[in-house]
Structure 1
């Protein structure tokens, strides 16, 4: 509905009622009473707080196939200073919203929020005029509400908050597959740099995008090379990225020989634009692309923006766009053909927040952030400048990790070096080499099947022997064998109750650490030429289990180790204990 009543006076000069006894009040007087208060509030909202999202209004997709989205409760202020309140969660289908169009291609749409009014409580009203004496219906209340709608295009520069102060845009190419444009600042301080921001938006099913063009300016270049003032912009979409939106940045600086002029034209060199989508060239007429005008200032750009903002005429400060919208999200739609119904349908491929309108922050919150040093503005002047959205990561700064090794025993190190020319931080991590082991070794286990010896503890038990390949190859080795208890099916799985007994287990008898395995005698014979050893086990008491697990270790000394201290008597044979010792015997099997 039309939200502006034909009797509503202009916002200024402000006129209010003057009451006196006997004054006859009409509709015009009551409307003036409301307009006075409403106009003052909206004027302050527009000039003191600006426009944008105050709280909430987060958008989520609830059903991709049904095109259903949900908007959380929240508050926003449009550029007219009007408060827009969404009191409860709103779930809507995009196909039911104003602005939804059926096209035969994939597309991106923008979900927007707008102020609206709704008339309530219709009543019979007796109208006395020269035209009618009959009863007519009139609405008794007007409710301030909202509406959700869709737009196919992003807002133009003049429709954004603070037009002509921060950024200016130039559209290079636009069709149903891809939209390419770049932004530059409006004001640049003399002798300083500025950032060119390139935007590439594409439909989800479009091919890879490649772009190249040359910028033309007599004062700004990427790198100064003699008298050449042409800089090249190149963009190549990464393969298999799955993204539909890209933002890249290039830094331009002012040449030292620049004349002290107030404005500078920044544009595209004619015929230099090359654009391909999916390997197909796009025809672009560069003569239709307008140039941008950058204003060179002798003062810091922030101070110039503040001065331009405060010196604007009142009618310019209160300028309101034709469509005063709050852009909430950008939604990518995929078009599907349904042969059974001969219609085209869509589903939601992805979505993202669109911060065309910056958020409106509470002044007390900014003050607290300033006091705590957590990113708030550092001065009242900075707080007055509307905060721009953080720049997305681009080519300006990257981190290159470097891994180096140092000699064993040296302490590890971490250092960083900044290469300003390449805009790169070299992060170097130094790690010491692993010290060489004291010797080669291998390990393994054997499950030996044993039969219970019966009730007679003095029954003769057979000797169980097994030849094992230790894996270290031919040569002298030392073998150590122990008895494992409390182990599960997986020999590498640690268990709180697992233990390995080496040497005589009799020393732990009648203690908390008594061995559960039967007493046995273990011996080993090493065959250096074969790279094997023979393990012999003799039970000295009855065994309750059917198997006994033995863990063995084979060691070999090398040029980095000290020779093993091993007495010949200890290497000759095993002992009648819970485990056996090794041997360096050179005996070979017969």
Structure 2
């Protein structure tokens, strides 16, 4: 199993009188080790099972917690106690450049233990000869200064289609999308920009070409990224959505021509030399079923392929240059998600239906008013974190020919004391102010017109309907005419509260009350302008009312 190749398993056959040598005992150990490691590799894969978290202790020191992992050929890696080390003392760290990201990795390692005198070797060699009495299954921590390619991981190869758009000078730009889609499915394409903290600001844009796919949302075939000026991140992700063809058994393609890509690092334009294409298969079966088919179709050689040199990346460490030295700026644990989940946990999650919502889509919608005459608009955004579509519909406002109008009446009881005077309150006050009245047109400026309403019921005796009439302004101007009202001489005024959508009506008795009326009915009208055309109508109506009621408020 040194290079993850499957050898036929051989075990010792014991018989009486067999001469046991070193070879026999080594074969005994190898038989059980190789079988266990083969099962580890095929059943669990590779990655961290528990622990091994990496934290920065100070500007130059990191600590690795105790933990257990399985490497890429099925060997167990155990860190039995926390380890604290200066970064410069870890194998693979170089001091020639501090403006970079480095990757802390762990690998399986064996070490000899307990040296003892070798009697057998002493008989054939001159001098003292020692051999190790034990082999310690240990680990090795070291630094890699280059990140592994995302497509080098087994499960990424099964589930994602990844292309590299640019990789040079501490900058790597990749584009990732699912390997399989179902007919009509909306998928997410991710543009991932990786850089060091000291790399100047990056701007990147390109136009893509589709075959089979359709745009969803507002990307319109153009993707653009501009790194914020105050950003302190080493990785950025930009997403956009595409809709797959409506029929299965075909391929859809996303292409990025090199001529359309524009990359700027700092103030310097950088050429992107190669064009890339991502061809995606549209399948008629569920995507998970198609991935499992690939998994089960693997050959045994492919399933166990790997290398003893392949390690597990525990952390990405971002460094900053501080004069002639460096400091640790940031530590990102498990940057490539090399974990092994418990089988019991995954089974319980599947039984609880915790992942059921991932196969459903949800929608939320809102509307917004547009100006009269504008074209209706529809904006759709997809949120992959919650499988939700967000619809925003713009609807033009209808044309309003007139203002909004509201009307109502208010009745005020009078106390009549003959011809000596009528008063609104028994204490003798001649002024009255109503409570706040709601006109129903909402907040904002309104115009309120008030008048005294009189109902002439003299025609009721002959069977004709009662006649209603409203007097605006000073009603005494009609005194001595056939239109003289039977109402008291009252002045009216209003107070409007635009922020509340309410108003008050004020009344004042002018002179003595010679009316026999016991109740005064006040009719009010409220006008609210909604548009330019309505304002002209309001002006005409207000002008007419002003002429009829010169003293209104």
1:91 matched to 2:88? The reply is no
Q: CA separation of 1:168/1:125 partners in 2, compared to 1, >3 Å: closer, same or farther?
A: farther
* Partner SS, residue 280 of structure 2: strand
Shift of 1:322: 5.8
Distance 1:347 1:44 in 2: 42
Aligned residues, how many?
385
Deviations along 1:277-330, one digit per CA (max 9) or x if unpaired, are: 2232122212xx554443343322211111111111101000114632111111
- Report if aligned partners of 1:224, 1:255 keep a CA contact under 8 Å in 2: no
Structure 2 matches for 1:244-323, cutoff 5 A? Answer: 244-256=234-246, 260-261=249-250, 263=251, 266-286=254-274, 289-321=275-307, 323=309
* More RCO (CA 8 Å, sep 6+): 2
Cα RMSD (Å): 3.9
Task: Tell me, in whole angstroms, the C-alpha distance in 2 between the residues paired with 1:9 and 1:29.
Answer: 22
**Cα shift at 1:336:** 2.7
Counterpart position of 2:315: 329
Question: Which digits, 9 at most, give the CA deviation of each residue in 1:372-394, with x for residues without a partner?
Answer: 55x36899xx9xxxxxxxxxxxx
Aligned mates of 2:357, 2:261 — CA distance in 1: 42
**Distance in 1 between the 2:211 and 2:227 partners?**
30
Contact 2:215–2:242, Cα closer than 8 Å, also in 1: yes
- Is 1:421 aligned to 2:411, yes or no? no
Q: CA deviation at 1:94?
A: 1.4
Match of 1:363 in 2: 343
Map 1:518-557 → 2, pairs under 5 A: none
Q: Could you say if the C-alpha distance between residues 50 and 378 of structure 1 is closer, same or farther in structure 2, counting changes exceeding 3 Å?
A: farther
Q: Which residue of structure 2 aligns with residue 155 of structure 1?
A: 148
User: Does the 8 Å CA contact 1:181/1:199 hold for their aligned counterparts?
Assistant: yes
Aligned equivalent of 2:199, options 193, 196, 206: 206
Contact 1:193 1:254 in 2 (8 A): yes
CA distance in 1, matches of 2:115, 2:364: 66
Q: Is 1:233 equivalent to 2:223 in the alignment?
A: yes
Distance 1:268 1:403 in 2: 36
1:239 CA displacement: 3.5
Tell me how far apart the structure 2 counterparts of residues 294 and 129 of structure 1 sit (CA, whole Å): 66
Q: 1:400 & 1:278 partners in 2: Cα distance?
A: 40
| Aligned counterparts of 1:62 and 1:224: Cα–Cα separation in 2 | 45
Q: Retained in 2: the 8 A contact 1:176–1:203?
A: no
Structure 1 residue matching 2:380: 3-state secondary structure: coil
- Is 1:16 the equivalent of 2:6? no
Asked if residue 57 in structure 1 is aligned to residue 52 in structure 2, the reply is yes
Cα-to-partner distance string for 1:540-576 (whole Å, 9 max, x where unaligned): xxxxxxxxxxxxxxxxxx886899xxxxxxxxxxxxx
TM-score by length of 1: 0.58
The change in CA–CA distance for 1:240 and 1:112 in structure 2 (over 3 A counts) is: same
8 Å CA contact 1:327, 1:356 repeated in 2 = yes
1: CA distance, partners of 2:357 / 2:346: 10
Gaps of 5+ in 2: 370-377, 383-388, 393-494, 497-502, 507-553
How far apart are residue 191 of structure 1 and its match?
Answer: 4.0
Aligned equivalent of 1:70: 63
Distance 1:562 1:208 in 2: 65
In structure 1, C-alpha distance between the alignment counterparts of 2:276 and 2:29, rounded to whole Å: 46
Among 38, 41, 50, the alignment partner of 1:46 is 41
Contact 1:62 1:68 in 2 (8 A): yes
Cα 1:190/1:132, change in 2 over 3 Å: farther
SS of equivalent to 1:165: helix
Corresponding residue for 2:112? 119
Give the secondary-structure state (helix, strand or coil) at the position aligned to 2:331: strand
Q: Is the 8 A contact 1:216 1:230 kept in 2?
A: no
Q: Is the 8 A contact 2:204 2:226 kept in 1?
A: yes
| 1:20-43 deviation line (CA, Å, top 9, x unaligned) | 111111111111111111111111
Conservation of the 8 A alpha-carbon contact between 1:117 and 1:143? yes
Q: Which runs of 5+ in 1 are unaligned?
A: 338-343, 383-395, 405-418, 428-557, 564-590
3-state SS of the aligned residue for 1:356? Answer: coil
CA apart distance, 1:86: 1.0
Q: Which residue of 1 aligns with 2:492?
A: none
Question: Secondary structure, in 3 states, of the residue corresponding to 2:199?
Answer: coil
Normalising by structure 2, we get a TM-score of 0.61
- Where 1:304 maps in the other structure, the secondary structure is helix
CA separation of 1:206/1:134 partners in 2, compared to 1, >3 Å: closer, same or farther?
A: closer
Aligned-partner Cα distance in 1 for 2:278–2:12: 49
The structural deviation recorded for 1:371 is: 4.6
Q: CA deviation at 1:85?
A: 1.0
Taking the aligned partners of 1:346 and 1:399, their CA distance within structure 2 comes to 49
1:88 counterpart SS class = coil
CA–CA separation in structure 1 for the residues paired with 2:95 and 2:331:
19
The 1:259/1:70 distance shift into structure 2, 3 A limit, reads closer
2:522 maps to none
Q: Distance in 2 between matches of 1:236 and 1:359?
A: 32
- The residue number in structure 1 matching 2:543 is none
Three-state SS of the structure 2 residue aligned to 1:40 is: helix
Contact map agreement 1:47 1:317 (CA 8 A) in 2: yes
Contact 1:60 1:69 in 2 (8 A): yes
